[in-house]
Amino acid sequence: MTETRDLPQAALRALAEAEERRRLAAEKPVLPIELGGRDGPEPVRYGDYEKKGICVDF
């Protein structure tokens, strides 16, 4: 592999940026707790919503 001192400044910046993006992608986002949400699987996955026995298809 090439020594880092042999690389141009632009390449070093690109490597640092890529490393930062990989680190941020590895972190899990903190999701807020949903209050009053639906029980069971997400209705969007099935293309319809059901609320109080009434089904609405999209």
Total domain count for the chain?
Answer: 1
Q: Which residue has the higher pLDDT, 27 or 53?
A: 27
Token output for 40: 């069971």
Does pLDDT of 14 surpass 80?
A: yes
Alpha-carbon distance 7 to 2, whole Å? 8
Domain range for 11 is 4-57
**What are the residues facing 48 on neighbouring strands?**
57
Query: pLDDT band at residue 30, thresholds of 50, 70 and 90?
Result: confident
pLDDT > 90 in the chain, percent: 28
